[in-house]
Amino acid sequence: MAKVHVTTSINGEPMEFLCEPSDTMLDALRGTLNLTGSKEGCASGDCGACSITLDGSLVCSCLMLAVEAEGHEIGTIEGMANGDKLHPLQQKFLEMAALQCGICTSGMLVASDALLKRNPKPSEEEVRFWLAGNLCRCTGYDKIVRAVMETAADMRAQ
Partner 1 sequence: MTELRYLAPTSLDEAIGAFAAAGSAARILAGGTDLLVQMRSGVLKPGVIVDIKKIPEMTTIEQAADGSFRIGAAVSGMALHDHENFGKVWPGVLEAVNLIGSKQVQGRASAGGNLCNGSPAGDSVPAMVAAGAVVTVQGPNGRRELKVEDVPAGPGRTNLKPGEILVSIKLPPRPPGSSDAYLRMIPRTEMDIAVVGVGVSLTIKDGTVTAARVGLGAVAPTVLLVEDAAKALIGSKLDDAALAKAAAACSAACRPIDDKRGTIAYRTKVAGVLLKRTAAIAAKRATQKN
| Candidates 28-36, 47-55, 81-89, 95-103; binding stretch for partner 1 (CB under 8 A) | 47-55
Q: How many Cβ atoms from other residues are within 10 Å of residue 55's Cβ?
A: 11
Instruction: State in angstroms the smallest separation of the CB of 85 from partner 1.
Output: 27
Selected range binding partner 1 among 29-37, 60-68, 94-102, 139-147, rule: CB under 8 A: 60-68
Long-range Cβ pairs for the range 56-59 (8 Å, 24+): 56/114, 56/117, 57/114, 58/110, 58/111, 58/114
> Which of 9, 15, 31, 43 forms a contact with partner 1 (CB under 8 A)?
43
d(CA 154, CA 88): 8
- Does position 18 interact with partner 1 (CB under 8 A)? The reply is no
SS3 content of the chain, % helix, strand, coil (to 5): 40, 20, 40
Cα pseudo-dihedral 38, 120, 72, 5, rounded to 10: -10
The length of the chain, given as a count of residues = 158
Q: Which is nearer to partner 1, 60 or 99 (CB)?
A: 60
Q: Which of 11, 73, 133, 143 is the binder for partner 1 (CB under 8 A)? A: 133
Binding site for partner 1 (CB under 8 A): 1, 4, 20-22, 24, 43-46, 48, 51, 54, 57-60, 62-65, 67-68, 70, 111, 114-115, 129-130, 132-134
